[in-house]
Structure 1
């Protein structure tokens, strides 16, 4: 697979908050050959990177950030790089090559830290548009992505409706609900109350806010799982005898078991703090929490009224981070806007992580939609009734009927 990995300067960039930086750099990877009308933009999730596919070495892309959708993107796969030119860009504010809090401010010679401008999903979209301009790509055959990457997809349809033929937001919604907002707020507080956070000025120090970031990641990780998946994975089992507690414990801990689920979360936290920046986590979760598709418009349907392409929304039954009901609300807004829309509801126990770990359910409908649009997939009319059944993931309209 032909892979082009690089960082491109898009020059001076004004953020939605009104602040400007003199030189925004965007790290990206591109796969396949561009033929003029075959470009597909993949938008990564919260802590993902531009490295969407193609296993390769490098500690900077460990964990989820390393080939995070390799089962979906590649030669002969759902997003076939033999046919499509696939681009994935690391968003501003992240720490995987694009300009963010850990980057050097050319005016001071020091890391931006919390002087970095507040970043939004709109900023991500405009930065991607600027990158595509630099790459000579005026139009996109499709934009897709999961989680907050799906919000990024929606913003493309909202802000650049004439530049996109198809959108496929997966495990996403028009906005976060209050429960998720609350959990994200606690996760950020775990970071900012870590003494080593030091107001965001910890770069170059031997003492970084790893404990706070680790706790934030654990809270986030629980949000990505479901009750059934956690029961299947861990139950109430104790960790093995060789398991070592990562964090300091209370005096009573020696009497009670160190459970398998605790050990798992500790391991995930340990790996995460090795690869991610605490300030970036603060910035990116703020961007996700702040996103509202209807911002600047009367409602969600009005925000999407200018988009005349096709859309496929995909949701997962056990996902309580972005629920099937939220996805159906999004689909209904598209119907109101006159968008040709299919909503695939995948019966899954995996929770929010399903869009990453269930390629057999995600790939076929995505492949079909990419190749043939809504032809051959389940099509819902303006009333939400199924007109044509798909051979792929089922559409459970009964979930949303009275």
Structure 2
């Protein structure tokens, strides 16, 4: 697979908050060859990176590397022998794009002096990166989770720049429960004594405990109740499981160290080695702040100028971005006569299904990229309806029956 990685120097960048920085550097990776009309932009999730594909080693730091390796590549759903695939790390992150951990022109770390970042800023930065690569109109913009919100923002900000939009496990905005959990996660970081108001980059200790707890909260959000029961139930961890990741109360030795605790501690340990606590604060706030309808009366008016086709993919076990939210968004597209398909996938994996079930996600992606909403797999939902002639994938009946 032909691929390239690089950094686009965008120069002065004006953020939606009104602040600016003199130079924004954006790390990106590109796969395949550009032929003028085959470009696909992929938008990564919250803690993902520009590295979409190319690594198969399991020890690749989770979403940091090759986060859609089973979806993107030669002969895969997003075929890099056919499409020119680009992914850019978003402003505020810590994988090569300018963010809180970067240094300013005077050589000082930005820390919390870095401007507040929005999803709209991500979209504008991506547009500028594509300009530097000589890419004009895109065949598609696709993303999962907050990357799906990012993809939806392209329909609002640049409605003429993409033939189609794909939002996987996404929504036009977060609900109150998700906002609350994100707020608790941020509080875990900012109340860590080592956070030091965000100025910890030259310190011997960093707020890893706070970041670890924030990540654990995130993992609980990304898993479904049934998947957690199947994976862990109430089982005690094995005798070799370590329990020293966090301080424990004196009574802890009397009680079992459970599988679910061991899993969360393990995930937290891996995460703090690869992610910046301030970046976590910045990116979760960008996600929480996003509202597709901001500046418009509703979602339908926000995307009314987009004349391409849209694919929404949701998962029945995802309570973070629900199937109901995707269907409401699909109705917004339909109300302005924008061709849209809502593909519902039966899954117990929760929000993480878009990453861990490529065999279910790949076919509708492949067929939509090739044939739009008329793609065969796009309409192969959990509840097919032979009488459905609306032009949209049917929605799982049990979820929306009257």
DSSP-derived class of the 2:200 partner: coil
DSSP-derived class of the 2:273 partner: helix
DSSP-derived class of the 1:275 partner: coil
Q: Is the 8 A contact 2:49 2:88 kept in 1?
A: yes
Cα RMSD after superposing both structures: 1.8
DSSP-derived class of the 1:125 partner: helix
Q: Report the Cα offset of residue 395 of structure 1.
A: 3.8
The CA deviation string for residues 30-58 of structure 1, in whole angstroms up to 9 with x for no partner, is 00000000000000000000000001789
Counterpart selection for 1:151 from 131, 134, 149: 149
Counterpart selection for 1:131 from 105, 110, 129: 129
Q: Is the 8 A contact 2:15 2:121 kept in 1?
A: yes
The CA deviation string for residues 180-230 of structure 1, in whole angstroms up to 9 with x for no partner, is 000000000000000100000000211100000000000011000011110
2:384 aligns with none
Q: Is the 8 A contact 1:328 1:400 kept in 2?
A: no
DSSP-derived class of the 1:173 partner: coil
1:378 aligns with 379
The CA deviation string for residues 334-370 of structure 1, in whole angstroms up to 9 with x for no partner, is 1112110100110000000000000011000000000
Task: Provide the rounded CA distance (Å) in 2 between the counterparts of 1:179 and 1:58.
Answer: 32
1:17 aligns with 17
2:269 aligns with 270
The CA deviation string for residues 139-186 of structure 1, in whole angstroms up to 9 with x for no partner, is 100010100000000000001010010011000001000000000000
For residues 56 and 366 of structure 1, do their structure 2 counterparts lie closer, same or farther at Cα, with a shift above 3 Å needed? closer
Q: Is the 8 A contact 1:154 1:293 kept in 2?
A: yes
Q: Is the 8 A contact 2:142 2:166 kept in 1?
A: yes
Task: Provide the rounded CA distance (Å) in 2 between the counterparts of 1:341 and 1:401.
Answer: 20
Q: Is the 8 A contact 1:157 1:304 kept in 2?
A: yes
Moved over 4 A (4+): 56-59
> What pairs up with 1:1-400 in 2 under 5 angstroms?
1-55=1-55, 62-106=61-105, 108-245=106-243, 246-375=245-374, 376=376, 377-378=378-379, 386-387=388-389, 395-400=395-400
Task: In structure 1, list runs of 5 or more residues that go unmatched.
Answer: none
Task: Provide the rounded CA distance (Å) in 2 between the counterparts of 1:192 and 1:236.
Answer: 31
Q: Is the 8 A contact 1:378 1:386 kept in 2?
A: no
Task: Provide the rounded CA distance (Å) in 2 between the counterparts of 1:88 and 1:293.
Answer: 22
Q: Report the Cα offset of residue 394 of structure 1.
A: 7.0
Q: Is the 8 A contact 2:341 2:391 kept in 1?
A: no
Aligned length: 394
TM-score under structure 1 length normalisation: 0.95
DSSP-derived class of the 1:142 partner: strand
Q: Report the Cα offset of residue 388 of structure 1.
A: 7.0
Task: Provide the rounded CA distance (Å) in 2 between the counterparts of 1:335 and 1:397.
Answer: 18
Q: Is the 8 A contact 2:388 2:394 kept in 1?
A: no
For residues 396 and 101 of structure 1, do their structure 2 counterparts lie closer, same or farther at Cα, with a shift above 3 Å needed? same
User: After the TM superposition, which of the residue ranges 276-285 and 198-207 deviates more from structure 2?
Assistant: 198-207
Q: Report the Cα offset of residue 62 of structure 1.
A: 2.2
The CA deviation string for residues 310-357 of structure 1, in whole angstroms up to 9 with x for no partner, is 001000001000000011111111111211010011000000000000
Task: In structure 2, list runs of 5 or more residues that go unmatched.
Answer: 382-386
